[in-house]
Amino acid sequence: MSAPARPGIVYLVGAGPGDPGLMTARSLELIASAEVILHDRLIPAGALAGARDDAELVYVGKEPGSAAMPQREIEELMVARARDGRSVVRLKGGDPFVFGRGGEEAEALAAAGVDFEVVPGVTSGVAASAYAGIPVTHRDDAGAVAFVTGHEDPAKDESALDWDALAQFPGTLVLYMGVGRAGEIASALIAAGRAADEPAAAIERGTLPGQRTVSSTLGGLADAIAVAGLRPPAILLVGPVAARRDAIAWLESRPLHGRRVVVTRARAQASGLARTLAALGAEVIELPAIRIEPRLDSEEVRAAVADLHAYALVCLTSPNGVRLLFEAMVAQGRDARALANATVAAIGPGTAAALRERGVIADVVPERFVAEELVEALADVDVHGKPALIARAAEAREVLPQALRERGAKVDVVALYETVAEEPSPDALDAAQEADYVTFTSSSTVKNLLAAVGERFPSGARVVSIGPVTSAAAREEGLTVEVEAERHDPEGLVEALLADAAAEPRT
């Protein structure tokens, strides 16, 4: 099924267990098109990033320590918005019908005569287990799996659950909401005949950065949880399959597992690097030190774009520069053909890729991503007496314009954007204190980050730099650069970091 959210309909949507990559295609489509989104607390970070700018986002979940919006009010709100003819997404963690009160909400909608659809999500009991290396079923020792609420106190007489039957259940037990009651739950199961030495596990923050798994036996589970200090959200799992983690655990064997890596790029650019690092197992902390402020309405930009066809050479020095040059062109009703007369030079592969996306194959791309290399790569291009345009950031090195002027070019340097300092969020800064690595992708991120954090620069972290210019800036700020990329682009930086992590065992 694939179509945007329709007016007057409520979609009960599962957002999955926490890893944004486990959101379904359908959930993303509905989030992107809904006019109203009512969401819980346990939804993946950035789950709402794709929502419409004009969408009404209502948080209806429970903050730890404060009251949630009462269930009846949530239901009334959904009904009211749908009756107003709006498209409504009710976004819940995991699957909406697995301990999510989605069933009640569907009944309320049905009773009110409001149309609705249900979009299943990946439920945490299955996903957290999978990320822990535990298959909830297995041909050899689990032909059934039960999802059980651990919310109720098994010692109470009015417990709605039949603990005797659960103890006899011939398969894996997956308990939600039970981490605080692990002791009572284990006692009830053992008292009813489940073996105390049966393998068991508890999985905290499954599929999220920093997921933790404790392996034990049913009898030892509560102590193991207490020793590790596991807290909600977590699931408990009881069954022989829990022992298969020994052989299957894969999450912990990813190359950057357990490493905390700070990414200091501007938020707009950081996501690619952050995603790559996270996929390698790192816990990524985004601490953007700079922000890109476009400067497209300046007279110099307007004039350069109006005369674009007159330049013999156009140099672009960042993917942001490419993006903004094209924005400025479109604003004047122009397209890639304005570059038809020019030799187009890109400072590196990322910039060249940004050009290619817009239909322009760069004529000159140096292999290494610094201004000196671009100067060299341009050696064969005849610029004498010819107009050349360098479109770039406001604050940049003078190497390229100088070299071209020395060769007789008539150089115009145009600032398409400015990089301005960004105040780091206190939470991110706290998290960064324990970092294993801090990555720098430009000298401006070095300068701005140090200006912003000062004494709170994580003292135990190894500094990773994208190349010699950035390294020099870091040394100037008194940092020791432990790792420098050989290829001066984000992929090269990741490669260098991986090599260092392999050589530097975790302490």
Residue of 40, 95, 436, 489 marked active site = 40
Q: 242 near 134, Cβ under 8 Å?
A: yes
**430 is a catalytic site residue:** no
Closest separation between CB of residue 290 and ligand SAH, Å? Answer: 32
Count of beta carbons in the 10 Å neighbourhood of residue 285:
24
**Binding mask of the shown chain, residues 166 to 185, with x at each position contacting ligand SAH by CB under 6 A:** ----------xx--------
- The nearer residue to ligand SAH, 93 or 349, going by C-beta atoms, is 93
Beta-sheet pairing, 410-421 with 290-294: antiparallel
| Interatomic CA distance for residues 425 and 286, integer angstroms | 9
Build a one-symbol-per-residue string for 77-116: x at contacts with ligand SAH by CB under 6 A, - elsewhere.
---------------xxxx--xxx----------------
Query: 62 catalytic, yes or no?
Result: yes
What gap in Å lies between CA 465 and CA 482, rounded to an integer? 8
Among 69, 177, 410, 500, which one carries the catalytic annotation?
177
Instruction: Considering only residues 26 through 45, tell me which ones interact with ligand SAH, judged by CB under 6 A.
Output: 42
- Pick between residue 17 and residue 239 the one whose CB is nearest to ligand SAH: 17
DSSP strands (E only) in 190-310: 199-204, 212-217, 234-238, 260-263, 283-286, 290-294
Q: Which parts of 225-244 interact with ligand SAH (CB under 6 A)?
A: 232-235
Site for ligand SAH contains 17 (CB under 6 A): yes
Is 40 a known active-site residue? yes
> What is the rounded end-to-end Cα distance, in angstroms, of the chain?
49
Strand spans (E) along 325-399:
343-346, 387-393
Nearer to ligand SAH, 64 or 193 (CB): 64
Which range, of 47-55, 200-208, 216-224, 409-417, touches ligand SAH by CB under 6 A?
A: 200-208
Q: Residue with CB nearest ligand SAH?
A: 94
Q: Is 207 in the site for ligand SAH (CB under 6 A)?
A: yes
Q: Are 391 and 416 in contact (CB under 8 A)?
A: yes
Establish how many alpha carbons lie within 13 A of residue 448's alpha carbon, considering only the half-sphere containing its beta carbon: 23
Q: Is residue 340 within 8 Å of 307, Cβ to Cβ?
A: no
Percentage helix, strand, coil, to 5, in the chain?
Answer: 40, 20, 40
Out of 34, 202, 203, 263, the residue judged to bind ligand SAH by CB under 6 A: 203
CB 203, min distance to ligand SAH, A: 6
Active site residues: 40, 62, 177
Residues that bind ligand SAH (CB under 6 A): 17-18, 42, 92-95, 98-100, 123-124, 128, 176-177, 203, 205-208, 232-235
